[in-house]
Structure 1
Amino acid sequence: MSSEIPLDPRQKRRAATAVRDDLRNLRVQLSMLNYRVGARAELRDIDLDCLDLISQNEPIGASSLARLAGLHPATMTGVIDRLERGGWVVRERDAADRRAVVLRTQPDRSRDIYRLYEGMNGLIDQICDQYDTDELVLIAQFLQRVTAAGVRATADLDEPST
């Protein structure tokens, strides 16, 4: 991937440890940011997470959302009820199956969330401006692989232990 001189095994282990530590610090900082965004928007942490999942996957049914969020369907009903009461989402009949209900975000309310993330998004844009396209592609690929590893590790925790 890189044309630089390869690291010796100790240097590589230290660099990998630094990456894990930095990802951990990033997770904590993003958690704090999301907590503050949720507080400003009067959303619980799980409600904000589910709102983001709905936004990324809409239209989405409640059972699919529950699977993605790793929540029990009864818990998901409470989350959806709160999001609907707050005007964040609407329940609509699925065009393909009129018996099924899907969730969609409300554009006006979504803009409220985007405004709360404007500061972070602007700072990320400034950071990205410091990298060339190839470097950004590499960073994006790394983050996608880390995300996939997180999905796998989460699924592994869902498996019964032997």
Structure 2
Amino acid sequence: MTSSTTGRTRQARRRRRTTEIKDSLRGLGIQLSLLNRQVGTHLELKDVDFRCLDLINRFGPLSPTTLARYAGLHPATMTGILDRLQHAGWIVRERDPETTDRRAVTVRALRERNNELYALLTGMNTSMDEIFANYTDDQLDVIADFLQRTTDAGRDATDELAGR
């Protein structure tokens, strides 16, 4: 085999592998969406409500406007979502002590409810721990870097489509 043939073979193999990885990421996204739907169903939360609760747990406390931006929703839509989450006992709205605007609030998740979430995710977390056990620390560093960079690329693409 010539070096140019070897190079083309390597390039074709690399293209196939990157396509497989992109397809796997799409499959992962679909599967996680289905898992989240099941968790939300068990908690009697709409998909959008569960997604917002997840964002509050991850990044909160947040203003409703910031949460709407993170969720890609119109701020007016957020009022109904927050009403449902508060009524179900997942969040509280608190006055923002950092501002003189008495209307300003922050939204905070009630952490004592997180055990309900964790119980539903135990199976997935256990499976992930078993998968992680098969990798070295250096391999986990590469995977973590890849996932962070992929998340950042997804955020950038989302912001671009949203005109931000």
Asked whether the two chains share a fold, i.e. TM above 0.5, the reply is yes
Greater alpha carbon shift after TM alignment, 95-104 vs 111-120: 95-104
Which blocks of at least 5 consecutive residues in structure 1 are unaligned? 1-5
CA distance in 2, matches of 1:55, 1:134: 29
- Note closer, same or farther for the CA distance 1:41–1:96 as it changes in structure 2 (3 Å cut): same
SS in 1 for 2:19: helix
Q: Deviation of residue 97 (structure 1)?
A: 2.2
Q: 1:45: which partner in 2?
A: 47
Describe the superposition over 1:8-42 as per-residue Cα deviations: whole angstroms up to 9, x where unpaired. 11010000000001011111111111110000000
Q: Deviation of residue 134 (structure 1)?
A: 0.8
Structure 1 runs of 4+ aligned residues shifted over 3 Å read none
What percentage of residue pairs aligned between the two structures are identical? 48
1:115 matches 2:119: yes
CA distance in 1, matches of 2:43, 2:36: 10
Which blocks of at least 5 consecutive residues in structure 2 are unaligned? 1-6
Q: 2:157: which partner in 1?
A: 153
Q: 1:66: which partner in 2?
A: 68
SS in 1 for 2:73: coil
Describe the superposition over 1:57-85 as per-residue Cα deviations: whole angstroms up to 9, x where unpaired. 11111001011111001101111111000
Instruction: Kindly report which structure 2 residues correspond to 1:1-162, keeping only aligned pairs within 5 A, or say none.
Output: 8-97=10-99, 99=102, 100-159=104-163
